[in-house]
Amino acid sequence: RDLNGSDQDAEVKEYSPVCVGREADIKKMERMTAVVHEREVVIFYHKGEYHAMDIRCYHSGGPLHLGEIEDFDGRPCIVCPWHKYKITLATGEGLYQSINPKDPSAKPKWCSKGIKQRIHTVTVKNGNIYVTLSNEPFKCDSDFYATGDFKVIQTSS
Ligand code: FES
């Protein structure tokens, strides 16, 4: 059986860069959505940097491409439009504020829940934007909405 060979081919294909659009267009719109090897992603252009991540929020699948970008603790985050979860653009960490109940005078502190949203790699070549899917082996909460039964691919009509 040659199953191994074809699995490897499929894997190589799944993690090959896919052209998602023109640099000039994303610089103007500051965000775009794309389907990369059947995975829906959003690409942001924010303060001169590109960031790509799974399009559905790790919390309940909210549409991150419709969220606002704001800085929290000096880190640019996409704020999910559904329940306002904050996700760092650079690393996909979920941020939250914590208060020490034993110290009522303390200011709330920003903390990280760890990486929750899968981040993908953006590269620019000859004025085109390419996205390479993350093949980090860890389980990421956003995988739930990006794969399997819960995957929803929007078709534009
Ligand atoms: Fe994004 Fe709830 S779905 S915050």
Under the banding of pLDDT at 50, 70 and 90, the label for residue 157 is: very low
Distance from the CA of 138 to the center of ligand 1, in angstroms? 21
Beta bridge partners of 63: 56
Q: How far is the CA of 80 from the centre of ligand 1 (A)?
A: 6
Q: How far is the CA of 51 from the centre of ligand 1 (A)?
A: 19
The CB of 83 under 6 Å from ligand 1? The reply is yes
Please check whether residue 55 is in contact with residue 33, taking contact to mean a CB–CB distance below 8 angstroms: yes
- Its ipTM equals 0.99
Q: Is any atom of ligand 1 closer than 6 Å to the C-beta of 60?
A: yes
Protein residue with its CA nearest to atom 4 in ligand 1: 83
Residue 125: is its pLDDT beyond 70?
Answer: yes
What is the predicted pLDDT for the residue at 155?
Answer: 57
Task: Find the mean pLDDT for residues 117-124.
Answer: 98
**Per-residue burial over 77-116, b = 16 or more CB atoms within 10 Å of its CB, e = otherwise:** bbbbeeeebbbbbeebbbbeeeeeeeeeeeeeeeeeeebb
Query: Residue 154 — pLDDT band, cuts 50, 70, 90?
Result: low
Q: For the residues of 79-145, what is the DSSP string, one character each?
A: EPTTT--EEETTT-EEEEEE--TT-TTSPPEEEEEEE-S-EEEEEEETTEEEEE-----S--TTHHH
**How confident is the model at residue 106, as a pLDDT?**
81
pLDDT-wise least confident of 25-39, 116-130, 137-151:
137-151
pLDDT (mean) for 51-78: 97
Does the pLDDT value for residue 87 go beyond 80? Answer: yes
Query: In this predicted structure, what is the pLDDT of residue 99?
Result: 85
pLDDT: is 143 or 150 the higher one?
143
- The CB of 96 under 6 Å from ligand 1? The reply is no
Give the pLDDT score at 156: 52
Q: For residue 147, what pLDDT is reported?
A: 83
Task: Supply the residue whose CA is at minimum distance from atom 2 of ligand 1.
Answer: 83
| DSSP H helix total and E strand total for the chain | 3, 11
Ligand 1 pocket, residue 67 CB under 6 Å? no
> Ligand 1 centre from 12 Cα, in Å?
32
